[in-house]
Chains A and B, each alone.
Chain A
Amino acid sequence: MKKHFTRLYLLLWLSTGICLQAAAQTRTLQGRVLDATTQKRLPFVTITNMANKKASAKTDADGHFSIQLNGHTTLAFSYVGYKTGMVSVSPADTGITVSLEQDISGLNEVVVIGYGSQQKKDLTSAVASISGKELSELPVTTINSALQARVPGVQITSGGYQPGAGTNIRIRGINTINPDGAGPTYVVDGVILTGDIRELNPYDIESIDVLKDASAAAIYGARAAQGVIIITTKKAKAGRSGIDYNGYYGVQQIYRSYDFVGAQDYANIRRIALSDEDPVAWPLNDPETDKQVFSPTELKSLAEGRSYNWPDAVTRAAPMQSHTLSISNGIGRNKIYLSGNYLDQDGIIVGSNMKRYSIKGNMESSVTDKLTMGLNSNYSHIDNHFVSNNVYYNAVSMSPLRPIYDSAGNPVVEVDPNTGNITVNNPVVQATDAINHKVDDRLIANLFLEYQVLSALRFRSSLGADIYKNQTFEYYPRTTSDGYLQRGVAKVQNFGYRDWVWENTLTYDYNPSEQHSFNVLGGFTFQKRRQEWNFEQASGFPTDELSYKNMSLANRRDYILSDYYNWAVNSYLGRVIYKFRQRYIFNVTARYDGSSRFGAENRYGFFPSVSAAWRLIDEPFIGFKLKSHVNDAKIRISYGVIGNQDINYDKIYARMNAASYPFNGNTQATGYQLGGSEGNAALKWESQHQFNAGFDLALFNSRIQATFDFYNKDIRNLLLDQTLAPSQGFDAKTINVAAMNTRGMDIGLKLWPVKTNNFDWQVNLNWSRYRSKVTSLLPGRDSLSPYLKVGEAPNSLIVDYVFDGIYQEGDDFKLNPTGRPGDIRVKDINNDGVINQYDRAIVGRTTPNAWGGVWNYFRYKRISMTIFASYMYGHDIYNKAYTDYLYVGAGRNVILKEGLNYWSPTNTDTDIPRPNAFGSALRMLPSGSSSYAVEKGDFIRIRDISLAYDFSPDLLSRIKIRSLRAYVQVMEPFLFTGFRGIDPEINGPGSGDIYPRYRTFLFGVNLGL
């Protein structure tokens, strides 16, 4: 319908034009505008008549335009992301085709900074952005895929591999001593969020901006210490409308897991292990010994020569799919963007699954010329079925001689007839019968009002809400390892919060002359949260049928717990950006935050910052010759103070706990006793002083773009629990006392090695590094625990005994008087002749030397390919999970194939001790491990390879489709590493994770109507 109208419109113009042309010198010029490379038609390109600046037009949705002209003129064609094209037209021209070139410099891109936006070329602080265009080229399934290794300084690790598990993000190294500190602050369409953002559909995201340094983040004051990630979701574009469908379907398959020995090797090694303890009592090749080692069912399997693969029984190839339908209409005064998404992801462990339903509605209405109102909202419902991590762990530890299913095909559940208790936990039963169901509902919404008071003064008020509710239902029936002792365990948990954010800002743009321009912002925000939690656990159910639904049937009430609290933050903010002569830019920001988590004494904090940038390239003294090679050169410098208010709200009070005293034996009086922590009403936020210096450079037509940032953070007033003298009556008191320092560099490089009409090759590289260390703890204390030491990064040390090889025949056994050849030997660090806790040393550090990513994009005509890799090196990993499966003994019977290279008198050149059923070869290791378990985690991981085809717009316009792209993608195809564990990206001093890694193959379609 619309097309017909346009054609009519054109015809009309044409006819009137012809008539008019005859009458005057005015004529109509028509044409169309295309992308120089893809030949795609560019809609809504602005055409300005340079002779007569008032006359302008826009191309329509098909790239056609029509404009009235007089004589010779020059027309300027401008469009976001493209270089403005200047075309001179003469009266003879009636129809022209204009091709616009992509502007790859990105200098005019608009970057969202807190409470406003700035052009990239004017930025004075370290802000990294991923534009909508970049996001659309990468078929992301989760937001973190977009950020991972694409933004210098941002390190992302997975919080778990089950569908629905979140991620941990660290911006610019370690920012606090508390290992459980919250991650960066997210701001989604103006709503300040805490926690994860897995509810957002990546297709709905327009752009992501990461505020890395103090100057950028200071506008968020006490929430900024861990960095700020601003997410802007899609809005309807003015004058356009359309329907889009995005969908993909894929399969996840395990590609990296542990390789355990088969039944025969398993049986042999168990016999050897028992015989090693007493070869006389338990000789090898003796059926009596076998009877000691194996259970009757295992003996049966041995006799029949059977072998069972338990890990296979609990894993599967798991499908996933996602469908998004979005409708957008920007024509008229009311713009609306609606998007609905359905995501269904099975997990590779049987029984795990996540379904997400979400709907987004972004509406904006120009009520009057000056008044705009709008609503951005996102509602999601996530239904998650988790499987306990025990399932996979139990499956790999199971003897391969035990049958998984019985003759009827049901999973075997071995029960002791006398006690009725399970003797062997069957993980298949646990995966299928246990219930672990989490339901999440979240509404993130923002209602706003913008009033253009004067042409330069704008007032904005918004009310945002983040309303979240989580219900967790767990039930472990008596056939599972978690529930058989107690005859069924049921747990029900409700957790929810309601966050309200009310923000009011006034922005004033004052441009008295071309030399000076000011942008002044002032505002006030108030945020309040109410959080509620309750938890019940009961056990001892008559049958498992009703699971957790009726807790009154339970025999025992194990726990009844609840917690309710509020917190609030009250802030004033202000910012002035002053641009002098277009090339000297200054930025002063300040925020004054008050938080209810602190006592009245130190409630408020002032967070100022300054930054400046010098656009070298715009200096008049830069010669023309230089300018032809260098397109951009800017130096930035900033310094500011930001805070972290994320402390437990109860630390300022002395908390009284339950106490009871049985007067007269039966009369139990209940009361209160003082808890262990003395309250500290003077608690305040942790503060971070960050200095940042950087430069941005673009060379050779912006074909090489580089940004480099160096930062140094002095973090003070870190919270620590100070042990008190016992005569004070309290155990500890939380005080702001510790300090640490993190410094590092972020380097980002964008290259276009090849850029032709038919072939493009683009490379994005980034490399980041940081070094954190604690500079002071409690006065006079150099270390508070083996893991928290001055001079080392907090929570990054691996402390253990130092592995010193295996004892051989004829060695000196003075450190291990009851030892034998084949035992593990560890070093006596302090040479006192005894192995005890003083012989533990720092054997590894989990902080990396550097990490980053490489992103390659190739395009040949309509086919494009993306290869995306990430790397990290220099970090140590405590691979205890792997080494635990190398040694036989002390309860560990199932081993990896590599463990077959164990020490024996005929095989002495090895690191693996002799197998012994009681672990006697491991007796030197009181905690069961040593530095042997520490490995380097260097890796290069190809995260993503995708191949896409963009159908030609000409072809599509015949069937009235605006755009169509089909793609196939492999996620995590390859991992190159020397690390013997499953995942070298695990971050943390302890690593017991054996969850297998999987590849995902998927194909998808982006359709636009």
Chain B
Amino acid sequence: MLLSLYKHSNPGRFTVICSMIALLLFSGCAKQLDIKPEVFVSPEELYKDEAGVRSGIVGIYRQLLVLKRSDYVIVGMVGTDEGKTTLFVPTWGTYWQNFSAVNSYSPLMTGQNDVIQNFWAVSYKGINNANVAIKYIGLAPVDDAVKARAIGEARFLRALFYFYLVQLYGGVPLPTEADNPEADAKGGYPRSSPDEVYQLIIADLQYAMDNLGGKGEEGQDPGRATKEAARALLGKVYLTRKDYDNAMTTLQPLLSASNVALMPGYADLYVEANENNIESLFEIQFSNEQDNTSNLAANLGCWQINSPDLPGAGGHVIIPTDYYYESFEDGDLRKEASFRTLFYDKDGNPVDYSWWSDVGKPHMKKFDITKGVSVSGSLSSRNLYYLRLADVILMCAEAQNETGDVSGALQQLNKIRRRAGLENYETVHGMPAQDQLRRELMTERMRELGFEGWRWFDLKRTGTLLTEVKAHNPDAAENIQEKHLLYPIPAKEFENNTALQPSDQNPGY
């Protein structure tokens, strides 16, 4: 055909034709097809400068806020000897029956349980944000110091989430890289062993300890992860692993640090103006702004208190156990600071509800909303403690006691007791044996750190979960079994992650 073309034309025309064909073939605007989105950033685009790095880190903190702002906050508080759900909760419908199963270990405590599934999911969102941040910050063209600190924050938070996961679920899938095509092809990672998870946690916290800023430093936002926070968490991890020597060496410097000290009064810890105080090592931040509130106060409050002028209004969802309430010695200032026993009706008159089971029981008042300061209604701006010095002191006591240093442990215990307005332990009870002190320290943790989210983990760590719950939690006593030392791995994980086999589920579920 081309030959006939040539025959029919003269050379001039032929050139014209050829150039036209050339125009057709090579005028491709192929490079114009690479169009970057304009109204959103993808992770590759975000971590290009310091502002980007900082804004990406905020996203990881945000997952922590999401984890603790709603119903998942009960994990660690209920199903223990310190806290339980009220008897009204199961009557509110299917979702709430699942919710109360976390407390009562009822047959609804399965891989389908919403609270358990969502706790897992949000933790992994936090881990994913951290992995992405770590990957891209490493490549970002920013100052090394900024990089190190940002990665330190990301690793601290990743360790925090993994610590929750490994304590609750045992060995878990362990993504540590943002993009792993192999894992993607299978839909996820297989279960790692608990040891592997702890190795990662420890490595992350070591890095954080070395690279984060100090508490109270210039330019450091209160509420960010600090060296001290990393140290405290690392100590707790060692303690959980029963590595008492490492726990002591890690935690020791905090006892004598200049920027960390116990607050003078226990009640001062729970005053809104004192958020991010000298005793606090890491708090989960909430605020008055829309979308940054928590509903912990609502869960802990009582709906009989209906007026916005009165503190303690809430949804009547979780309450302390009788055991917790009655575990205080006379004169312990903490009892008054932790519990509310005075209730008001909707007109503001004090009323006696002691006849009405669960309604009249003492409620937690640590995280009450203060009129005019917190957001009104059930939304609260109160921060939630994650780590504070009192916790560290008690951890040291535990570590010392376990290594046989009873007197050293007693010294630490007494610091806490004196702050609570009590005499030294030996003065009141005499010198304890190791075993007695062990039990006392556990009860002291409950009295000091009640409803701050650690009780379930403390009981599990010391192997006393089953006995204590059977003895002191009426809802769970008949249901709790050996298998409940671990939570079931969520059904959604098995459905979509082919690297997991059904046999990978925790025993008994």
Residue among A654, A663, A667, A728 making CB contact with B188, cutoff 8 Å:
A728
Bound-state CA distance A570–B9 (Å) is 32
Which residues of A (629-688) have their CB < 8 Å from a CB of B? 649-650, 653-657, 659-674, 679
Q: Is B83 an interface residue (CB 8 A)?
A: no
Binds B, one of A42-50, A288-296, A595-603: A595-603
B285 pairs with A504, CB closer than 8 A: no
B188 & A661 in contact (Cβ 8 Å cutoff): no
Q: Nearest B residue to A656 by beta-carbon distance?
A: B41
Q: Is B100 an interface residue (CB 8 A)?
A: no
Is there an interface contact between B128 and A729, defined as CB atoms closer than 8 Å? yes
Residues of B within 8 A of A726 (CB): 117, 120-121, 124, 490, 492-493
Produce 1/0 per residue, B39-65, CB < 8 A to A.
111110010000000111111111101
Q: Is B17 an interface residue (CB 8 A)?
A: yes
Question: Does B34 touch A at the CB level, under 8 Å?
Answer: yes
The A-contacting residues of B in range 282-307, CB under 8 angstroms, are 285-289, 291-292
* Cα(A499)–Cα(B30), bound, Å: 17
A656 to B286, CA, bound (A): 22
Judge whether A595 and B1 touch: CB under 8 Å.
no
Contacts of A660 in B (CB 8 A): 58, 62, 289, 291-292
Given contacts A565-B39, A665-B381, is CB(A508)–CB(B1) below 8 Å? yes
CB-nearest residue of chain A relative to B39?
Answer: A563
On whether the beta carbons of A723 and B39 are closer than 8 Å, the reply is no
Contacting residue for B28 out of A570, A653, A665, A727, CB 8 A: A570
Chain B min CB distance to A455 (Å): 8
Q: For residue B122, which residue of chain A has the nearest CB?
A: A726
- B35 in complex: contacting residue of A596, A672, A723, CB < 8 Å: A596
B175 on the interface (CB 8 Å rule)? yes
- Would A670 and B187 be within 8 Å (CB), given that A659-B62, A661-B65, A663-B222 are in contact? no
A570 to B25, CA, bound (A): 12
B433 within 8 A of partner (CB): no
Residues of B within 8 A of A506 (CB): 20-21, 24
Could you mark each residue 53-82 of chain B with 1 if its beta carbon is under 8 Å from any beta carbon of chain A, else 0?
011111111110100000000000000000
Q: Is B172 an interface residue (CB 8 A)?
A: yes
**A residues 590-626 touching B (CB-CB < 8 Å):** 594-596, 600, 603
Q: Which bucket holds chain B's interface residue count?
A: 35 or more
Assembly CA distance A594 to B28 (angstroms): 11
Contact A661 B58 (CB under 8 A): yes
Is A669 in contact with B54, judged by CB distance below 8 angstroms? yes
A575 to chain B, nearest CB (A): 14
- A570 to B124, Cβ gap below 8 A? no
Query: What DSSP secondary structure best describes chain B's contact surface?
Result: helix
Kindly supply a per-residue 1/0 record for chain A positions 438-460, scoring 1 wherever the CB is within 8 Å of any chain B CB and 0 otherwise. Answer: 00000000000000011011010
CB distance from B192 to the nearest CB of A (A): 11
Q: Which of B9, B128, B285, B490 contacts A662 (CB 8 A)?
A: B285
CB of B223 closer than 8 Å to a CB of A: yes
Tell me how far the C-beta of A472 lies from the nearest C-beta in chain B, rounded to whole angstroms: 20
**Interface-located stretch among A516-524, A542-550, A841-849:** A516-524
Cβ of A510 under 8 Å from chain B: yes
Q: What residues of chain A lie closer than 8 Å to B175, measured between beta carbons?
A: 727-729
Q: Which partner residue on chain A sits nearest B175 by CB separation?
A: A727
A524 touches B28 (CB 8 A): yes
Q: Is the beta-carbon distance between B38 and A565 smaller than 8 angstroms?
A: yes
How many angstroms between the C-alpha atoms of A570 and B41 in the bound complex? 25
A656 touching B29, Cβ below 8 Å: no
Measured in the bound complex, the distance between the Cα atoms of B288 and A666 in whole Å is 8
Give per-residue flags for A922-933: 1 if the beta carbon is below 8 A from chain B beta carbons, else 0.
000000000000
CA distance A572 to B28 in the complex (A): 9
Given the interface pairs A454-B5, A454-B8, A729-B175, the reply to whether A662 lies near B38 with Cβ below 8 Å is no
Complex CA gap A653/B39 in Å reads: 12
Q: Is A526 an interface residue (CB 8 A)?
A: yes
Q: Which of B405-452 contact A (CB under 8 A)?
A: none
Known A-B contacts A454-B13, A671-B62, A674-B129; the reply to A724 vs B187 at CB < 8 A is yes
Residues of B within 8 A of A657 (CB): 40
B24 pairs with A673, CB closer than 8 A: no
The answer to whether the Cβ of B27 comes within 8 Å of any Cβ in the partner chain is yes
Q: Is B32 part of the contact surface with A, judged by Cβ < 8 Å?
A: yes
B125 within 8 A of A: yes
Pair A672/B287 contact, Cβ less than 8 Å? no
Residue of B nearest to A781 (CB): B495
Within the complex, the shortest CB–CB distance from B182 to chain A, in Å, comes to 13
Nearest CB on B from A509, distance (A)? 11
How many whole Å from B502's CB to the nearest CB in chain A?
Answer: 14
- Whether, in the assembled complex, A749 has its beta carbon less than 8 Å from a beta carbon of chain B, the answer is no
The reply to whether B42 and A663 contact each other, CB–CB distance below 8 Å, is: no
Alpha-carbon distance between A724 and B496 when the two chains are bound, in angstroms: 6
Contacts of B125 in A (CB 8 A): 673-674, 729
Interface string of B172-189 (1 = CB under 8 A from A): 110100000001100111
Contacts of B173 in A (CB 8 A): 725, 727
**A976 at the binding interface (Cβ < 8 Å):** no
A562 at the interface (CB under 8 A from B): yes
Contact of A671 with B128 in the complex, beta carbons under 8 Å: no
In the complex, what residues of A have CB within 8 A of residue B9's CB?
454
- B121 cross-chain contacts in A, Cβ below 8 A: 726
B405 → chain A closest CB, angstroms: 38
B-side residues, CB < 8 A to A, are: 1, 4-5, 8-9, 13, 16-17, 20-21, 23-25, 27-30, 32-35, 37-43, 46, 54-63, 65, 117, 120-121, 124-125, 127-129, 131-132, 172-173, 175, 183-184, 187-189, 221-224, 275-276, 285-289, 291-292, 381, 383, 490, 492-493, 495-497
- 16 new A-B contacts, CB < 8 A, other than A570-B29, A595-B33, A728-B497, are A508-B1, A522-B21, A528-B32, A656-B40, A659-B59, A661-B58, A662-B286, A662-B292, A664-B285, A665-B276, A665-B288, A671-B55, A674-B129, A725-B187, A725-B493, A728-B128
17 sampled A-B residue pairs with Cβ under 8 A: A453-B17, A454-B8, A504-B27, A510-B1, A512-B4, A518-B1, A522-B24, A649-B37, A653-B42, A654-B43, A659-B62, A671-B56, A671-B57, A672-B59, A725-B493, A727-B493, A728-B188
